[in-house]
Structures are given as structure tokens and as C-alpha cells.
Amino acid sequence: MSDKAKFQAIKGVRDILPPESALWNRVEQTAREVFATFGFVEIRLPILEQRELFDRSIGGETDIVSKEMYGIASPLLVIKGMLLGESKFPGLKRDSSEYLRFLMSLSAFLVVARDALQSKELGAQNERSIHELDHAFQAGLTHFPNADPSRESERQQLRKDVGELVSRIEVEDLSLRPEATASVVRAYIEHGMQMLPGNVKLYYMGPMFRRERPQKGRYRQFYQIGAEVLGSSDAPGIDAEVIEMLMMLFERLNLKGAVLNINSIGDKNCRPAYVEKLRAELQKVREHLGEDSKRRIETNPLRVLDSKLESEQGIIANLPRIADHLCRDCRAHYDEVKRQLGLRGIAYQENWRLVRGLDYYMRTTFEITAPGLGSQNAVCGGGRYDGLVELLGGPATTKGIGFAIGTDRLVLSLQEAGEGETPGGLAGKAGGLDVYLAWFGAAAQSAAIGLAGRLRDAGFVVELPAVEMKFGKSLGLADRLKARHAVIVGDDELAAGVVTVKRLSDGTQQKLGEQELFSYLRAVQSAGD
Ligand code: HAM
């Protein structure tokens, strides 16, 4: 294999090529138009954030945070992780070579940390801990360099001390974002957006990253179009309007067969009691559950309801349902969301198992499925997250609700339904060549450059060959590029002050002055020819 052929897109990521990219543009452009009519404005967010932002908001126990995040591995971070791992099991019996390795890791950490201090990558507040680590290292080296059994307890103490000191050092820990709600909330707090009048309505679009097992509709770099409403009100009408906006977008895109599922997962008053009840019931059937669900009895029993495992479906059907355990306020909120959806003529299915895989949700959750996607059929997910702004250090009074559409899946579903073609509009224009401007001779080239500029100014799509070609070859290329017209400029045309216009669909040809050419092309365009 030649060197050039070696590079391919990495696993789970892909190129979006024309003409598919035209459909992406249409989807994104339509979203911008629809969202604007509801008063949403765009926020552009960074792709890199502190890992802890996601840890705190999405939840450390969730699959997204515990298994799927892409971190940026700096040497300091990697060695810190190693040392912390070591110190977790100070009592573990180790031989002398392992003890030496520990000292070597510590020495490597100190070398990199001192450099980082100097370059200010590490803040000056870490100086003291690094100094103490230096001492610990010296002590380890001089006092008990080998595995003398009589000094084992001292070595264990050293590991513990080192662990504590290392954990205090604030090493930058960055991740590629797996979603954007956390970033929106971070930006809302950072820029004091609670001072803005009314609800803050923001939308975003862009790539997200999760290390999942790739399959149709599931990628490691995927794209979302999302929207969030932040403000002091948690009125159910906001929930319903956000869903209305989504349904309007899907309708505008001609997405057929979208099904809206909704649920309420309660709040901090009623959910804990339900979760305990669920946990107790799950304990009773533990033996019949798969490994993931067994683990989730402890970590997050709600997520068991999400399970797709065939053997668990019968068990799940008999578990207690959150709908029967909502407190009065949550029940009233949920009932009103449903009434408000009714006012808007929006059809929905209630799905008591819809708990979603991120910890920040409370009360309303929803998901929309679309056909043609196989098992990854959720084209959009969202819900209310009233406590999140406070959790991330913002005002307790700010509530939030939003959604994110999986753009890859939306596009896939539209393609499966034959909506891939994009006649007219911005995207159609980019795909169609109005004029292939063939020129012959140096004088004609200069005239053609000028004419191409004027045609493009008028909005026509023009291809201008960069080098002179033989007549037959040039017109052959015009055909292969599927140009609507070849406009020919040669010595004869220059002398007569005209161009030759050839309609490539039927070969008809005429000579026109520049004004006539523009009128002719405009007439063709408006006739949609
Ligand atoms: P999510 O359910 O994790 O929610 O993702 C939303 C949508 O992104 C999914 O319904 C799916 O269409 C798409 N998606 C997720 N993972 C992948 C993947 N690996 N490949 C392709 N598409 C994928 C959130 O991200 C929340 N931030 C939504 C939200 C906004 N809730 C409130 N505000």
C-alpha cells in the first residue's frame, strides 16, 4: 500500500460529502428559520470544556461520563492518574520492583510538574504541594529504597501521603464535549445571562463526541441541533412550546412518521422515594437480570427501565411506575404539559420507561423516534433540568428545558424517505451549475474573467476554466459537469461584441449581447428550467 493510501477517517467518524452535505445545509438552515420565529438566537460554544463540567451535570455514574468521554491526555494528567491509582491500595503487598516503579512515576511527575509550574501551565497555588512531594520522594529514596519487610508500614504511609498531595494538584483535565446542555448552562452563568429580560432562548449546532460502539445511526463524532430555554419560570407552557417548535421543524422538513414520547420523572421531592421502591423491587428479581442492570440497582436503578435486553422486558413491565408516585406538584405540572400539547394539536404517547441517560433531568422528559433508523431510532431527546443551573453555581431560581436533535439520524431518516433530493433553495443552488464559461485566446480570457465576475455578482453559479482548453474538450467538460449552459467567448464573439450561448439539454445555440444574456439567464432561472 502506498503511503498516500494509508490515511482513512478513524473508527466511528465520517466525512459528509456532497450531495449529502446539501441536505445537511437544508436541515440546518430550516432549523435556523423555524427557531428564529420562536425568538431563539444562536450560541456558539467551545468543543473543549473541563471534564468536571460534564461529571457534575450529566453525572459521574452515567455511561456517557464513565465510559464514553474523550479526554485530552497531558503527561501530567496521565502520571497523576497512575499515582492516584497506586495510592488507592496502599496495603497491597508489592515486591521491590513495584516499589521502584512507584518512585519512578513520582520522579517523572515531579519533573513534568516543575516544568509546568515554570511555563505557568500549573498555577502557583500548587507550588507548596509540589515542594512537599519532593520531600516525600527524597524520603522514599533515602530511607527505604528496597523491600526491607520491617519498613513496609512506612512505605505504605508514603504511598498514602503521596496520593493525598497529588490529588491536591490542580491539573487541567479537558474533554471533548459529549453534549452541549452543560456548556449552555456554563455560558449562561459565566455571562450573567440571568440579568437578561424574559426567558433566555438559545440554540446551537455542531459536533459532539462519545466513544460508543459505532453502528448505523451511532457515531463517535456526531452532530446535534439543540435548543435550551433558561429563565425563572417552569411553566408547562414552555415545555409544550419547545416541543411544538420541534414538531414544526420536522413538519417543515417533511419528516414522516415521527412519534413523540413523553414522561415525567418527578423531582427531588418525589423521585428519591420512587427510586428506593424501584431498587427494593429490583433486588427481589436480581437473579433474573443481566449484568448491566444488576450493577444499576446500586448506581442508578432508573436506568434499568431503559434496558433493551429481551429477557428483562417481562420483569420491567411489572415494576412500579413513576406515574403512580409523583408528588402533587409534579403531577399537576405533567397534566398541564399534556393539556398544553393538546391545545397545540400535538399528538403524543406516554412512555413511563422514558427516563433518559443523563442525571440532570427532572419532571418532563421526551424523545422523538423516526422511521428508517433501525435500533438507533431516537432522532431527538430532551427534557426539563430545573436544578442544573444551581448545581453548576448559578442562581437557584433559574429553571431550564431543552432538547437536542441527532442531525445524523434526522438526515438518515429523511434520506430513507426519499427526501435526499433538494430542489431549489440554498442547497439546490450550490448543486447546480448555471454557466460553464468557455474561453479561447488570451483576449477572450480577460473578457471571460470580467463576465464571470458580473454573472456571479448577479447570483449565477459559474465555472470558469483556469487554463485554455481545446473547444471539444472544454464543451465535453461542461456536459460532464451538468452545466445548464455553455457560454462561449472566442475571437469572433469578441469582435462582434456578443457571446455564444449553448443550452446543453438540447444543443440549441444563439448569440447574445451581455444585457440579453443576463435577461435570458434570468428568464430561464425563474421558469425553473
Ligand atoms: P441525548 O439523548 O444524549 O441528549 O442526545 C440527543 C440526541 O443526539 C439523540 O436522541 C440522538 O439522536 C443523538 N445522538 C446521541 N448520541 C449519538 C451518537 N453516538 N451518534 C449519533 N447520534 C447520537 C442530549 O444530548 C441532551 N443534551 C439533550 C437535551 C438538551 N436535553 C435538554 N436539553
Shortest-distance Cα residue to atom 8 of ligand 1: 406
- At 79-123, the pLDDT tens digits run 888 888 876 765 566 666 777 888 888 999 999 999 999 998 898
Q: Find the 300 Cα to ligand 1 centroid distance in Å.
A: 19
* Cα gap 140→148, rounded to integer Å: 13
Whether 380 lines ligand 1, by a CB cut-off of 6 Å, is: yes
Low-confidence spans in the chain with pLDDT less than 50 = 423-430
- At 380-391, the pLDDT tens digits run 999 999 999 999
Q: Percentage of residues in the chain with pLDDT exceeding 70?
A: 94
- At 240-278, the pLDDT tens digits run 999 999 999 999 999 999 999 999 999 999 999 999 999
Shortest-distance Cα residue to atom 12 of ligand 1: 406
Query: Which pLDDT value is given to residue 159?
Result: 84
Whether 382 lines ligand 1, by a CB cut-off of 6 Å, is: yes
Query: Which pLDDT value is given to residue 151?
Result: 76
* Cα gap 174→430, rounded to integer Å: 38
Query: Which pLDDT value is given to residue 346?
Result: 98
User: What is this structure's pTM?
Assistant: 0.90
* Candidate from 215, 358, 384, 410 with most ligand 1 atoms within 8 A of CB, to mutate: 358
Question: Residue 410 CA: which ligand 1 atom is closest?
Answer: 12
Look at residues 239, 194, 430 and name the one whose alpha carbon lies nearest to residue 342. Answer: 239
Question: ω before 465 within 30° of 0 (cis)?
Answer: no
Give me the DSSP letters along 286-352. Answer: GGGS-HHHHHHHHH-GGGGGG---GGGHHHHHTS--GGGG--HHHHHHHHHHHHHHHHTT---EE-T
- The strand pair at 462-463 and 200-209 is best described as unpaired
Whether 422 lines ligand 1, by a CB cut-off of 6 Å, is: no
- At 137-195, the pLDDT tens digits run 988 887 666 666 777 778 788 888 888 999 999 899 999 999 999 999 999 999 999 99
Whether 408 lines ligand 1, by a CB cut-off of 6 Å, is: yes
Q: Find the 380 Cα to ligand 1 centroid distance in Å.
A: 6
Look at residues 387, 402, 404, 262 and name the one whose alpha carbon lies nearest to residue 334. Answer: 262
Whether 51 lines ligand 1, by a CB cut-off of 6 Å, is: no
Question: Residue 405 CA: which ligand 1 atom is closest?
Answer: 7
Query: Which pLDDT value is given to residue 485?
Result: 97
223-to-33, 59, 70, 138 alpha-carbon distances in Å: 19, 21, 15, 50
Whether 222 lines ligand 1, by a CB cut-off of 6 Å, is: yes
* Candidate from 208, 360, 377, 386 with most ligand 1 atoms within 8 A of CB, to mutate: 208
